[in-house]
């Protein structure tokens, strides 16, 4: 891998941030299911969209950087 490709990879802190958001979203979804079962589907969709958006942004940054090598 070239230096440019390595620089485009998400760093450890960014990967940890995505993992933290995933764990938080899972905890919120489980609590919502306990409190109000009918709200679970909507909350799960919103949480998945937030996590997916962060992961997509990281993957785009990686693929954009790799494309310039």
pTM, to two decimals: 0.43
Give the tens place of pLDDT for each residue, 44-68.
Answer: 777 777 777 777 777 776 655 554 4
| Beta carbons of 61 and 6 less than 8 angstroms apart | no
| Beta carbons of 40 and 25 less than 8 angstroms apart | no
Q: Tell me whether residue 22 is exposed, middle or buried, using C-beta atoms within 10 angstroms of its C-beta: 0 to 12, 13 to 18, 19 or more.
A: middle
Give the tens place of pLDDT for each residue, 30-49.
Answer: 777 777 766 667 777 777 77
């Amino acid at each position: 891998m070239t230096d440019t490709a390595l620089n485009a990879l998400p760093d450890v802190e960014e990967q940890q941030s995505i993992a933290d958001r995933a764990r938080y979203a899972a905890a919120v979804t489980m609590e919502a299911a306990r409190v109000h079962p009918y709200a679970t589907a909507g909350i799960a969709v919103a949480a998945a969209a937030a996590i997916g958006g962060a992961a997509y942004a990281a993957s785009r940054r990686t693929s954009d950087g790799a494309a310039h090598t």
